Amino acid sequence: MTFNMENLQNIRIAVDAIVFGYKSNDLYVLLIEQQFGSSDKYWALPGGLVKDDEPLSEAVIRELREETNVELTFMEQLYTFGDDIRRDSRNRVISVAYYALVDASNLEIKADTDAERVQWFKIDEIPPLAFDHNLILKKGIERLKAKLTYEPIGFDLLPDEFLFSDLENLYCTILEKEIDRRNFRKKILSYGFLEETDNFSPIRSGRPAKLFKFNKLKYNELIDKGFHFEIKFA
């Protein structure tokens, strides 16, 4: 392949991260507040430009650590945004978006580098975001809802030990549907990767409830044997 001056590119590659958290029966997303030059401050998804010698996945991890103090447990590439060549008025920027899941109930967030503030926002209270970040977030929510029905990623949003009712409420909240709780419990427990612990909820109201934990090793063993996870709602 030969190049001439007309073929030279001036395109930058960025990464953006949709970090979902779940607490108090609500789904949240992590946003940072930034200011570019003399322009007004704005809320945006964490992210930034990829270094020349940096893999995309490492760029996401670095940007999140630098801007929010968040370390990831689950992360997956979502989509590439670049059809709108004017999505960033400063330069031609193509963004590779990732979505991530964290336990927001036990996470210390802290703004750093070019982020002035970092804050959790409820999904139904998202402000207008910079660039096309509202579109990126919409794609992330769609992927989360879909994947929740065929892969047990919801456990990454919960603490290591949790009430079974927390898992039920998580599905109801994210999928925005009511479930038959008896059948849901029966089906989830039948898979064999959810274990009842000897620990009880610290909340003392009524009959003490035991805590559960997700056995990821058992789940991976089942996957190797051809197991198919599926949660359906009427």
Among 108-112, 113-117, 155-159, whose mean pLDDT is lowest? Answer: 113-117
Are 144 and 159 contained in the same domain? no
Q: What was the pLDDT predicted at 201? A: 87
Conformational region of residue 25, where left means phi above 0, alpha means psi within -120 to 50, and beta covers everything else: left
Are 17 and 116 contained in the same domain? yes
Query: 48-64 burial string, b = 16+ CB within 10 Å, else e?
Result: bebeeeeeeeebbbbbb
Residue 64 falls within a domain, yes or no?
Answer: yes
Residue 201 sits in a domain whose CATH number is: 1.10.10.10
Are 113 and 18 contained in the same domain? yes
Residue 86 sits in a domain whose CATH number is: 3.90.79.10
Are 140 and 158 contained in the same domain? no
Q: What was the pLDDT predicted at 154? A: 95
Q: Which of 114, 148, 182 is the last residue of a domain?
A: 148
Among 75-79, 121-125, 127-131, 202-206, whose mean pLDDT is lowest? Answer: 202-206
Residue 101 falls within a domain, yes or no?
Answer: yes
Are 100 and 177 contained in the same domain? no
Are 132 and 159 contained in the same domain? no
Q: Work out whether the CA dihedral 160, 161, 165, 166 comes out positive or negative.
A: negative
Among 31-40, 87-96, 157-166, 222-231, whose mean pLDDT is lowest? Answer: 31-40
Q: How many domains are contained in the chain?
A: 2
Long-range contacts, 3-10 (Cβ 8 Å, 24+): 10/91, 10/92
| pLDDT confidence bin for 1, thresholds 50/70/90 | low
Residue 229 falls within a domain, yes or no?
Answer: no
Domain of residue 81, residue span: 5-148
Share of the chain above pLDDT 70, in %: 93
Are 115 and 175 contained in the same domain? no
